[in-house]
């Protein structure tokens, strides 16, 4: 049988095979047991190589993952189950470090280009990068599989973010989950909390919504609408001073905000952090400097979430991330905030104005960017919202004061028109981020 001369790396490159790399990996696994054994590692590496030659004859090239799978198999077959477990743990640690590196991002013009390229590649690999491809999945019975794959991708990214937090060690005392409206901050906060709790960390959330000023103090526009989207609608000085007090080990008394009445009550409830607790901050404006000015950078981990979906329409244009979030918010406002979809649509210009001014410019301050767009959600959202867009176009077409709403409604209408809707959401698990908006979640919001 011909020897193994080359292997296939994860990035697709073909490189020379080197048995020494297998030996080193197994040797590290033996060291993790407290009994490093180079001779044992060499013997096992030889047996792995023989298994490779048998499994990949001729010009076939094994991948890195193929080799790692064979290492685990050979160790078990040779009665080294404990060593196999240590090797699996070593393999998982390496995978997590690679993932953390892969998910690093650079921001240019407030756009994380590397991140959205990764999203596009994932969509292409799962054949859901275009409206046409998405429709094929829906009509050919592949919707449930796409749901499962999309949910797994989101969980994997959340796990990488949690690993980055754990890497901070004892210096970490605050985690910020920031991002624009309806990007899925609340569910992401829960997911991160679950991941950290699994390793014994206790998390405690401070509800920033309680720090809104009384509604009468909010600015209005020519239509008399209030603006909840500006960070100046929040008592930033009080938030910052409370954070400083908490991280110094002192208790605070938080306010309480009644959204129906638009009134805040000060000194409502005592709030403090135990020695083993990490403060969680879920806020649109978590990256806004004035909110956490008193907290040193090394004591806070800043996670930015955004719907970075990459879906191409027939004309070659990609869906706007903000339009994805608009659809989510139209449902949430209707079902939980006593606002009709038309009101959300006409209010959206405040949302976008504030995002562009107070949220998106701070994207580069984040330690990690997490994509919360789910590749299957548009057919589900269309089934719930489609009827509103023809009506909105008709209502606002000739209204000179609502042209922003008309343009937005037409753009979303034209995209959704070609998408096959999905009425049955039973394939979506109760722990899905989308359940934050469409209902049926296992979480309490």
354-369 pLDDT per residue, tens: 888 888 888 888 999 9
CB-CB contact of 144 with 399 (8 Å)? no
Query: Over the stretch 253-296, which tens digit does the pLDDT of each residue have?
Result: 999 999 888 899 999 999 999 988 999 988 888 898 899 999 99
What is the model's pLDDT at position 254? 96
What is the model's pLDDT at position 388? 96
Helices 403-417 and 321-336, packing angle to 10 deg:
100
Domain boundaries, the chain: 6-100, 103-438
Query: Over the stretch 3-59, which tens digit does the pLDDT of each residue have?
Result: 888 887 765 677 888 898 899 889 888 887 788 899 999 999 999 999 888 888 777
CA 26 to chain centre: 34
Neighbours of 7 (CB within 10 A): 20
Write the DSSP symbol of residue 3. P
| Buried/exposed 256-290: b ≥16 CB within 10 Å, e otherwise | ebeeeebebeeeeeebebeeeebbbbbbbbbbbee
What is the model's pLDDT at position 72? 87
| Residue of 384 and 25 predicted with greater confidence | 384
| Buried/exposed 221-242: b ≥16 CB within 10 Å, e otherwise | eeeeebbbbbbbbbbbeebbeb
Q: What percent of the chain has pLDDT over 90?
A: 55
345 falls in which pLDDT band (50, 70, 90)?
very high
DSSP letters, 366-398, are -SEEEE---TTHHHHHHHHHTTHHHHHHHHHTT
pLDDT at residue 104 greater than cutoff 60: no
What is the model's pLDDT at position 422? 98
pLDDT at residue 102 greater than cutoff 60: no
Indicate the pTM of the whole model: 0.72
CB-CB contact of 240 with 286 (8 Å)? no
The superfamily (CATH) of domain 103-438 is: P-loop containing nucleotide triphosphate hydrolases (3.40.50.300)
User: Mean pLDDT, the chain, as a whole number?
Assistant: 88
Q: How many CA atoms lie within 13 A of 104 on its CB side?
A: 6
Query: Over the stretch 226-248, which tens digit does the pLDDT of each residue have?
Result: 666 678 889 999 999 999 999 99
Residues in the chain: 445
CB-CB contact of 420 with 139 (8 Å)? yes
**Which structure tokens are listed for 163?**
């690993």
Task: Identify the top-confidence range among 133-147, 201-215, 312-326, 342-356.
Answer: 133-147
């Amino acid at each position: 049988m011909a020897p193994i001369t080359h292997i296939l790396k994860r990035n697709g490159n073909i490189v020379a095979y080197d048995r020494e790399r297998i030996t080193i990996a197994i040797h590290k696994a033996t060291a993790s047991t407290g009994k490093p054994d180079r001779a044992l590692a060499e013997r096992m590496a030889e047996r792995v190589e023989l298994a490779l030659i048998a499994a990949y004859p001729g010009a076939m090239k094994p991948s890195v993952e193929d080799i790692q799978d064979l290492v685990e198999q050979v160790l078990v077959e040779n009665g080294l189950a404990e060593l196999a477990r240590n090797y699996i743990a070593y393999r998982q640690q390496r995978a997590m470090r690679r993932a953390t590196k892969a998910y690093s991002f650079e921001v240019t013009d407030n756009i994380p280009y590397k991140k959205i390229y990764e999203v596009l590649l994932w969509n292409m690999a799962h054949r859901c990068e275009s409206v046409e491809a998405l429709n094929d999945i829906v009509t050919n019975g592949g919707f449930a599989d796409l749901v499962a794959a999309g949910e797994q991708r989101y969980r994997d990214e959340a796990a990488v973010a949690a690993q980055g937090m754990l890497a901070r060690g004892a210096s970490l005392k605050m985690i910020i989950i920031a991002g624009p409206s309806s990007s899925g901050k609340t569910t992401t906060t829960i997911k991160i909390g679950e991941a950290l709790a699994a390793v014994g960390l206790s998390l405690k959330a401070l509800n920033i919504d309680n720090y809104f000023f009384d509604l009468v103090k909010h600015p209005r526009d020519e239509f008399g609408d209030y603006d909840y989207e500006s960070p100046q609608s929040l008592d930033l000085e009080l938030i910052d001073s409370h954070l400083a007090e908490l991280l110094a080990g002192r208790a605070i008394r938080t306010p309480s905000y009644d959204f129906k009445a638009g009134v805040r009550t000060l000194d409502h409830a005592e709030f403090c952090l135990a020695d083993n607790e990490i403060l969680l901050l879920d806020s649109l404006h978590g990256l806004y400097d004035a909110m956490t000015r008193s907290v040193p950078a090394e004591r806070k981990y800043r996670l930015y979430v955004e719907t970075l979906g990459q879906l191409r329409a027939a004309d070659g244009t990609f869906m706007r991330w903000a339009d994805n979030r608009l659809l989510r918010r139209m449902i949430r406002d209707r079902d939980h905030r006593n606002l009709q979809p038309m009101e959300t649509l006409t209010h959206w210009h405040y949302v976008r104005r504030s995002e562009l001014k107070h949220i998106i410019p701070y994207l580069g301050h984040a330690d990690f960017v997490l994509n919360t767009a789910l590749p299957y959600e548009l057919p589900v959202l269309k089934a719930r919202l489609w009827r509103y867009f023809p009506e909105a176009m008709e209502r606002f077409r000739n209204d000179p004061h609502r042209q922003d709403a008309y343009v937005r409604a037409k753009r979303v209408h034209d995209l959704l028109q070609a998408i096959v809707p999905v009425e049955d959401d039973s394939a979506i698990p109760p722990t899905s981020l989308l359940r934050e908006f469409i209902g049926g979640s296992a979480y309490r919001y």
